[in-house]
Amino acid sequence: MAKDYSKLAQQIVEQVGLDNIESVTHCQTRLRFVVKNRKLIDDKKIENLDLVKGVFFGSGQYQVIIGTGLVNDVYSAIDKLGTVNAIYGKDDVNSGESNVNNENKTKLQRFMAMLSGIFIPIIPVIAATGLFLGLQSAFTNAQVLKLFGAVPSDIPTSVNTVISVLTGTVFSFLPALIVWSTFRYFKGTPIVGIVIGLMLVSPTLPNAYDVAGGTAKAIMLFGHIPVIGSQGSVLTALVAGYIGANMENYFHKHVPNVLDQIITPFLTMLLTFGIMILGVGPIVHWIENVMVAGVESVIHLPFGIGGFLIGAAYPLMVLVGIHQMMIAIETSLLAATHLNPLITLEAMYGFANLGVALAMIIRSKSKKSKATFVGAFSSQLFGVSEPTLFGVLIRYNFKPLIVTVLTSGFGAAALSILNVAANSYGLAVVPSYLMYIYNARDLIIYTIVSILTVIVAFIATNMFAIPKEILIEDVVNKEKIKDNAVYAPIDGHTLALDKVNDPVFASGMMGQGIAIKPDGSAKVNIYAPQTGKLNIVADTGHAYGLTTDSGTEILIHIGIDTVSLKGKGFTINTKADQIVNKGDLLGSFDPKVIKENKLDDTVMVIITNSKDYMNIESQPDENISHGSALIALQQENTIGINDSVALQK
């Protein structure tokens, strides 16, 4: 007889708020609510409900993590209540996910998504240029050269010229890169965008820096309109990209097909360049200069007040998802001054997280909790903060978050007082030191302050923020232990689960496991990782759930947010309730389709009943073939703390 989930459904709806819910959908692991006011929801009350594994707010949706299989039953129970707008019953997001990504996102959420989509593709080249500049400063420093019996004048002019190509190209043509990326984001033709960007910084036009320095004069068009290049203007490039891409899309719809290939790019380049040069560009550049000056004035408020405000606010910005806005400001700072003091202050968030996670690791007596903390600490070392944020900071009455906010603020305050600044962005925590090798003073100060931030956060966590529940040892009965294994469903390169770009999977809410990055871009076959019964075969082909004969519950989840593709690029060769043998073909997918839609094609292999196992081991950073051993399991008969308490009662 099927279990009745109507009570749980009613409880979830009541806690989210009947009048607060605009619609509800679901995928293979979670309920997805579109809500009017996220602040009205008490996360703790929902997390304490039976069968709820956790909650998460992202992509404009309030997500209640239920788990594979059960989420279908709970959703059906919500649908049967008839009190909220249940959009669909299976993984069809025609009116659900797409609606969330557009109408149901706030203007701020859409703006943040835009900035992220535009600037993230150019972060690697800016970070690399910062490293080039750092190495140049280090190896042309008079004190360094003195060790080799040389002086800066000994370096040939030709060598300095060649080095300047490495260090100067990105910032000289930064507007071109931004216009290209903006065109790409707004579905324009990227090559048209990059040509418009190059026009804005054409060497034929007076260089903006030279005009500002008084060594060059603007061209006076028609005797009245000053025309100069847009070197260093990030906002000008963003506006040019937005206008140009939308203009091109308009012309594509209205120019006859026979003329489209010539007339559309001609009109797009002519009109966009004309609009920017004849007035919009200078106005936007002036606005950008005011913004940069405003940020710099906050950073340099006396007594480190500005630094504290930025350092303390940044963890909260990450929590609510508006931190991507800072990338645009950092890019403007770099373009204008070639220095980035903002990321220096923001970086203390990562070091504070290290101190909190380290304290949790040392104090925790629960092996399962300790495993979560170790994973969070490891990923935070290289700047991935979501496992720490969602698995540590906001999980235990927010006290660890308060420690991070305050210690991040104080560390940033010290750095602002001492005027420390990076020379690029895109690097965090351990790799971030590379952004300061251009200046020995800044590198030393940054190193000292960052280490002190870790220490202070560690001490404060130990004193005020250690949750009582992690101080209780796991009570287990290890009399019966059985080994088992799960095998790779695809070919690829293994990746630690806490490194994937989904906080729910990365934090271990769904269970322990490992991820696999597919090899190449050709069609990928998905094979059964063990013998058992398929209890889940998603209609969209992006997820399979298998229960083995020994009771292991395995979820294979292809990609992140690939439910939005509605089956495009996926082929299904099996059906629910089918018995499969290890190595049987379950289906296939095309990574190219996933990437064309700007989604992540990482495949997660999760043991959803991880609590039933004493040890779950896997090896990241290895090339693996389908059918090879992927996850080793040790099963146990476990009497947990809650069970032992229940037995005593």
Q: Name, in order, each residue with C-beta under 8 angstroms of 413's C-beta and a sequence gap of 6 or more.
A: 303, 304, 305, 307, 308, 311
The DSSP-derived string for 371-434 is HHHHHHHHHHTTT--HHHIIIIITTSTTHHHHHHHHHHHHHHHHHHHTT--BS--S--SGGGGG
Q: Which two tokens stand for residue 461?
A: 């966590």
At 4, give phi and psi (nearest 5°): -90, 120
Query: Is 27 among the residues known to form the active site?
Result: yes
Q: Name, in order, each residue with C-beta under 8 angstroms of 401's C-beta and a sequence gap of 6 or more.
A: 315, 319, 393, 394
Residue 481 falls in which region: left (phi positive, over 0), alpha (psi -120 to 50) or beta: beta
Query: Which residue in the block uniquely carries the two structure tokens 């949706």?
Result: 61
Secondary structure class of 77 (helix, strand, coil): helix
CB atoms within 10 A of CB 562: 28
Give residue 499's identity as a one-letter amino acid code. K
Q: How far apart are CA 544 and CA 261, in angstroms?
A: 44
Q: How far apart are CA 252 and CA 246, in angstroms?
A: 10
Query: For the purposes of burial, counting CB atoms within 10 Å of the CB of 154, is it exposed (0-12), middle (13-18) or buried (19 or more)?
Result: exposed
Q: What is the 3-state secondary structure (H, E, C) of 292-348?
A: HHHHHHHHCCHHHHHHHHHHHHHHHHHHHCCCCHHHHHHHHHHHHHCCEHHHHHHCH
Query: For the purposes of burial, counting CB atoms within 10 Å of the CB of 520, is it exposed (0-12), middle (13-18) or buried (19 or more)?
Result: exposed
Largest CA distance in the chain: 92
Secondary structure class of 242 (helix, strand, coil): helix
- Alpha carbon separation from 411 to 61, 300, 309, 344, 353 (Å, rounded): 33, 15, 11, 10, 12
What strands lie across the sheet with 481-487, from one edge to the other? 481-487, 629-636, 613-618
Residue pair 449/403 in contact by the 8 Å Cβ criterion: no
Element (H, E) at 264: helix 257-275
543-548 and 225-227 beta bridge pairing = unpaired
Secondary structure class of 622 (helix, strand, coil): coil
Identify the active-site residue in 8, 16, 21, 27: 27
Query: For the purposes of burial, counting CB atoms within 10 Å of the CB of 424, is it exposed (0-12), middle (13-18) or buried (19 or more)?
Result: buried
Residues in the chain: 649
Residue pair 28/557 in contact by the 8 Å Cβ criterion: yes
Nearest to 26 by CA among 539, 603, 516, 618: 539
Q: How far apart are CA 505 and CA 497, in angstroms?
A: 7
Nearest to 598 by CA among 24, 104, 101: 101
Q: Which residues are catalytic?
A: 27
